[in-house]
Amino acid sequence: MDAAVHRAIDAVWRIEAARIIAHVARLVRDVGVAEELAQDALVAALEHWPSGGVPDNPGAWLMTAAKRRALDHLRQHALHARKREQIGLDLDALGAHVAPDVADVFEAARDDDIGDDLLRLVFTACHPVLSTDARVALTLRLLGGLTTGEIARAFLTPEPTIAQRIVRAKRTLSAAKVPFEVPRAPERAARLASVLEVIYLVFNEGYSATAGDDWMRPALTDEALRLGRVLAGLAPDESEVHGLVALMEIQASRMHARVDAQGCPVLLLDQDRSRWDPLLIRRGLAALARSEALGGASGPYALQAALAACHARARHADDTDWEQIVALYDALAQVAPSPVVELNRAVAVGMAFGPAAGLEIVDALAADPALARYHWLPSVRGDLLAKLGRRAEAQAEFQRAADMTLNAREREMLLARATQR
């Protein structure tokens, strides 16, 4: 196959896959079947475009091909009543003249509902009936257009494991008869929280990888940010969506400053802020303002974005308003209490009121089982001890943190701190 055509197909598929799967899923009411039909359309492109050329509107070509396959699928299943449950259609209501009625249903599914279809797909892929790992994998597959291999490499997981995870997720959605719809008001907040959790998990794994040789995986942060922006466009009145986008935009602005020339981590207070991306900061601050205008200033993602904004507004590390950051962590602890939030608050307290005050909070957290294998606990403790001049104790804490982390770059950084005199 001509390499240029292959690249064109790959690029179009990455852009259009989510729209096509979402639209077809509304027709067949099964995301697993929808993905298969969309893949059939992709195969058709691989067969026809090398000889016939890439069409003027390749996305529309793929959509039309997928819809034709969806219509064939609906007609076939309308004629085989034994598969009615599989596609989730009430075929009894279609009456005796099934095929024309199916065509009417198909004709009624207009392309101008694509935005709603994408939102339905987001909520379906992130349905709480699925495990967190399954939601992440399915979201990247259906909405991100990533291949199984790409997802596996991003999360350092064997490809067969990811493949099985995706297969089981689609089977679970089908078996649970999860409706392909945007949830109604009573459950929308909880379902939206599940969606935001998945997107932020993907972002965080890219921003600070839990394992492997690289501290960051930009492909994941880029994909999470793209999904967040798409979701903000689909749900413009949801304040926490804008809060999450604000948080990711501002955090992503630091990516180039978070590693040195050798790829080693550079901590926030040591970063060259001239390397922060001003465009992403402006976009993040605008998204935060939008969230606050919608009444979401006290939402957990908006509060975290406000914390990130405090750092973004400080031209130099010494300009940071640490007392304001402590106040924001106090507010965050009220709406989303967790040991990790309290540990981050301890860092801010240490900066605002002295390392002894921060160490007192950290020592109170030491017995929390949720932090038993969390390497940032001894790392933070080591930093506070070092500031108090207790070098031997600090070195022991940095060594303990290095022994806990699964990320090679973090381990190198912590070991270096453990040997400092």
pLDDT at 130: 95
Same domain (yes/no): 299, 218: yes
Query: What are 89's two structure tokens?
Result: 């259609």
Same domain (yes/no): 190, 311: yes
Mean of pLDDT values over 94-114 = 48
The percentage of the chain sitting over the pLDDT mark of 70, rounded to a whole number, equals 91
Q: Is residue 255 part of a domain?
A: yes
Q: Is residue 374 part of a domain?
A: no
pLDDT at 336: 94
Same domain (yes/no): 191, 293: yes
Q: Highest mean pLDDT: which of 2-11, 112-121, 206-215, 276-285?
A: 276-285
Q: Is residue 390 part of a domain?
A: no
Range of the domain at 35: 4-113
Same domain (yes/no): 203, 300: yes
- Cα 417 to Cα 267: distance, rounded to the nearest angstrom: 12
Same domain (yes/no): 192, 108: no
Q: Which of the four pLDDT bands, split at 50, 70 and 90, describes residue 10?
A: confident
Q: Give yes or no for residue 112 having a pLDDT over 50.
A: no
Q: Which of the four pLDDT bands, split at 50, 70 and 90, describes residue 3?
A: confident
- Decide which of 328 and 93 is more confident: 328
Same domain (yes/no): 306, 187: yes
Q: Highest mean pLDDT: which of 45-59, 211-225, 370-384?
A: 370-384
Q: Is residue 243 part of a domain?
A: yes
- Decide which of 114 and 232 is more confident: 232
Same domain (yes/no): 100, 188: no
pLDDT at 146: 82
Q: Is residue 365 part of a domain?
A: no
Same domain (yes/no): 102, 189: no
- Cα 398 to Cα 403: distance, rounded to the nearest angstrom: 9
Mean of pLDDT values over 383-404 = 97
pLDDT at 15: 81
Last residue of a domain, one of 256, 281, 315: 315
Query: What are 31's two structure tokens?
Result: 């995301």
Q: Is residue 17 part of a domain?
A: yes
pLDDT at 203: 93
Average pLDDT, rounded, for the chain = 89
Last residue of a domain, one of 259, 284, 315: 315
User: Could you give the number of structural domains in the chain?
Assistant: 2
Q: How would you write the chain as a 3-class SS string?
A: CCHHHHHHHHHHHHHHHHHHHHHHHHHHCCHHHHHHHHHHHHHHHHHHHHHHCCCCCHHHHHHHHHHHHHHHHHHHHHCCHHHHHHHCCCHHHHCCCHHHHHHHHHHHCCHHHHHHHHHHHHHHHCCCCCCHHHHHHHHHHHCCCCCHHHHHHHCCCCHHHHHHHHHHHHHHHHHCCCCCCCCCHHHHHHHHHHHHHHHHHHHHHHHCCCEECCCCCHHHHHHHHHHHHHHHHHCCCCHHHHHHHHHHHHHHCCHHHCECCCCCECCHHHCCHHHCCHHHHHHHHHHHHHHHHCCCCCCHHHHHHHHHHHHHHCCCHHHCCHHHHHHHHHHHHHHCCCHHHHHHHHHHHHHHHCHHHHHHHHHHHCCCHHHCCCCHHHHHHHHHHHHCCCHHHHHHHHHHHHHHCEEHHHHHHHHHHHCCC
Query: What are 159's two structure tokens?
Result: 């490809």
- Collect all residues with Cβ–Cβ distance below 8 Å to 300 and sequence separation of at least 6: 240, 243, 332, 335, 336
pLDDT at 38: 93
Q: What is the pLDDT of residues 43-62, one digit of tens each?
A: 998 998 988 888 989 999 99
* Contact between 120 and 180 (Cβ < 8 Å): yes
Same domain (yes/no): 94, 10: yes
Q: Is residue 177 part of a domain?
A: no
pLDDT at 5: 78
Q: What is the pLDDT of residues 166-198, one digit of tens each?
A: 999 999 999 999 999 888 878 888 899 999 999
pLDDT at 89: 47
pLDDT at 14: 80
Last residue of a domain, one of 297, 315, 333: 315
Mean of pLDDT values over 211-231 = 89
